[in-house]
Amino acid sequence: MTTMRPGDPVEDFELLDQTGTPRRLSTLLAAGPVVLFFYPIASSGGCTREACHFRDLTAEFTAAGAQPVGISSDDVAAQQAFATAHGLGYPLLSDPGNTVAKRFGAYRRFLPGGLHTRRRTFVIGTDATLLDTVAGETDFDKHADEALAILRRPP
C-alpha cells in the first residue's frame, strides 16, 4: 500500500460516478483543485454525516475554486441512492475493486465486515500534485473543515 505525501504526483484514474458516467481525475482537475474523500460505505451514519458536511460547505469550496469528490467501493446504484437521498450535488465515484483506494493508501486489508475503505481525504492541486491529506475515522466534520484550511493556505 502506498503512502502519499504532500508534493507527490497523483496518478490519473477513471471511475464511474453515481450516474454511470466515467470521470477522470485529470478532467476534474481542469476545473480546479479536487478534494478526493474516501469513505467506507454509502448511507451509513458516519459517512452520511461526512458527505453532508461537504455538501453544506459547497459555497466555501466554490470560493476556494475546488470541488469535493467522494469515493468508496459501493456500486453505482448505491452511490446514486446516497447522492439522491441527501442532495449531495458533487460526484460520488464507485471503486468496487478498491483499485484507487489501494493506490492512495486508503485501503485496509483485514477488517471484519468487509469495510476496506479507510476514511481519508486528499487535496489535489490542478497540477495533479498532492497538496495535503486528512486522516481520521471518527471525526466526520474534520475532513471537509481541514480540506478547506489546506486550500486556503498561502502558496
The full length of the chain comes to 155
Cell numbers for 85: 437521498
**Residue 135: what are its φ and ψ, rounded to 5°?**
-125, 160
Catalytic (active-site) positions: 47
Strand 120-124 to strand 34-38: parallel, antiparallel, or no bridges (unpaired)? antiparallel
Calpha distance 83→145 (Å, rounded) = 20
